[in-house]
């Protein structure tokens, strides 16, 4: 029986039947790809997640589009299963080889990074937005929205004091798509939820369960709140809210996690170390999360978990919590600074008091007196 493959169908695989299982001829589920869009956003993981804010606008302005997203391996768990991404590829030669024969209707590079820009520039495209490479191999803006983002990165005055746009607004300008303040989202895989739930069942926890994400990336100094602050907060959660404080972090944060656990005198519970997908599922089970300006913040926002977000050296106005939490911002006059090293004593995070964070937490979870 003849079976003429529909090579432009978004369900077509090639080496086996698609999920609908029947022959291509006469298939009622045939769905032509339509416009082909390539998004290149490699890092950092938290920025990759919140850059998905461009997807509703892409869908709105590009009829029946098929979206391919290229990112680096560590960010893949944050994007897997996203309802608006049709194909997710890991950055590298294999991805380049697979895509090099395609002519895209739109190639969109959201990274001010030479590798990402070079990858995007190498693709065949009818239209390009975002960032590319100049003749000197340096990053250049391809449209007005990207010009604004490029200028923002080159001027501390503009970034720290003049800009009032949030990151999702900025990235949608780079993409040249409308923005209606839709919260960015992520999908949790079933297996990661099962593993997270199984881990939580091994612990003795009381409601409300408050996550304390005590670490932060290594790039900016003083981005994480103090271990003593988190330990004191854990004691107050246990004593005054009669809940549980679950200490969370990544592999590089383990020494800080252990320090908080030690200082808490048994008030805090060790949340352990987990792969990113399982970590995300744990965050999704929390009643609230207290964190610095970290990837965990963006995971909580994407999952609708209430957040208390503590800001020291980074810019709070770029972060939109989408009415899902409250910011606690240092009053230190030297902040924001984005310094990679800091010898100020006391520093901007020392300025943030436990009373302020705990009071904000009570408000966020609806337990304020």
Strands (E), 235-319: 244-248, 268-270, 288-291, 307-311
Residue at token pair 């006469």: 26
Query: How does pLDDT run across 270-326, given as a tens digit for each residue?
Result: 999 999 999 999 999 999 999 999 999 999 999 999 999 999 888 999 999 999 999
Query: How does pLDDT run across 64-95, given as a tens digit for each residue?
Result: 899 999 999 999 999 999 999 999 999 999 99
Q: Which of 12, 129, 8, 4 has the alpha carbon at shortest distance from 61?
A: 129
Length of the chain: 369
263 has a pLDDT exceeding 90: yes
Query: How does pLDDT run across 169-226, given as a tens digit for each residue?
Result: 999 999 999 999 999 999 999 999 999 999 999 999 999 999 999 988 777 767 889 9
1 has a pLDDT exceeding 70: no
As a whole number, the mean pLDDT across the chain is 93
Residue 253 near residue 215, CB atoms below 8 Å? yes
Q: Which of 217, 213, 211, 232 has the alpha carbon at shortest distance from 352?
A: 232
107 versus 29: the higher-pLDDT residue is: 107
CA distance 263 to 334: 28
Query: How does pLDDT run across 231-261, given as a tens digit for each residue?
Result: 999 999 999 999 999 999 999 999 999 999 9
CA distance 26 to 236: 65
Query: How does pLDDT run across 51-60, given as a tens digit for each residue?
Result: 999 999 999 9
> What are the residues whose beta carbons fall under 8 Å from the beta carbon of 121, sequence distance 6 or more?
109, 128, 132, 133
Helices assigned H by DSSP within 124-180 = 144-154, 156-157, 167-175
62 versus 130: the higher-pLDDT residue is: 130
With 0-12 / 13-18 / 19 or more C-beta atoms within 10 angstroms meaning exposed / middle / buried, residue 26 is exposed
The arithmetic mean of pLDDT across residues 324-331, rounded, is: 92
Residue 24 near residue 4, CB atoms below 8 Å? yes
CA distance 300 to 288: 8
Count Cβ atoms below 10 Å from residue 285 Cβ, excluding itself: 18
Query: Which tokens belong to 313?
Result: 């050296």
């Amino acid at each position: 029986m003849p079976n003429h493959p529909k090579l432009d169908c978004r369900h077509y695989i090639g080496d086996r039947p698609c999920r609908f299982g029947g022959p291509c001829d006469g298939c009622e589920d045939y769905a032509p790809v339509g416009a082909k869009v390539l998004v290149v956003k490699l890092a950092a993981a938290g920025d990759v997640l919140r850059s998905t804010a461009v997807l509703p606008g892409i869908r709105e302005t590009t009829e029946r589009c098929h979206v391919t997203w290229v990112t680096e391996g560590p960010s893949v768990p944050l994007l897997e299963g996203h309802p608006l991404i049709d194909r997710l590829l890991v950055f590298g030669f294999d991805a380049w080889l697979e895509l090099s024969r395609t002519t895209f209707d739109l190639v969109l590079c959201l990274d001010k990074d030479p590798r990402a820009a070079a990858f995007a520039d190498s693709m065949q495209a009818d239209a390009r937005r975002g960032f590319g490479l100049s003749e000197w191999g340096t990053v250049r803006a391809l449209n007005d929205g990207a010009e604004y983002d490029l200028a923002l990165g080159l001027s501390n005055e503009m970034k720290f004091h003049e800009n009032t746009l949030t990151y999702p607004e900025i990235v949608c300008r780079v993409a040249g798509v409308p923005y209606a303040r839709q919260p960015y989202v992520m999908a949790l895989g079933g297996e990661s939820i099962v593993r997270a739930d199984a881990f939580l069942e091994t612990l003795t926890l009381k409601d409300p369960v408050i996550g304390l994400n005590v670490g932060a990336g290594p790039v900016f100094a003083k981005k994480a709140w103090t271990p003593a602050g988190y330990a004191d907060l854990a004691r107050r959660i246990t004593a005054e809210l009669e809940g549980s404080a679950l200490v969370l972090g990544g592999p590089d944060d383990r020494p800080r996690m252990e320090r908080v656990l030690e200082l808490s005198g048994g008030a805090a519970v060790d949340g352990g170390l987990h792969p990113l997908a399982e970590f995300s599922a744990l965050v999704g089970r929390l009643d609230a999360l207290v964190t610095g300006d970290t990837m965990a913040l963006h995971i909580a926002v994407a999952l609708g978990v209430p957040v208390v977000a503590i800001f020291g050296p980074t810019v709070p106005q770029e972060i939109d919590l989408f009415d899902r939490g409250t910011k606690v911002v240092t009053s230190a006059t030297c902040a924001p600074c984005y310094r990679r090293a800091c010898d100020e004593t006391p520093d901007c995070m020392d300025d943030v008091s436990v009373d302020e964070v705990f009071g904000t937490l009570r408000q966020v979870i609806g337990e304020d007196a």
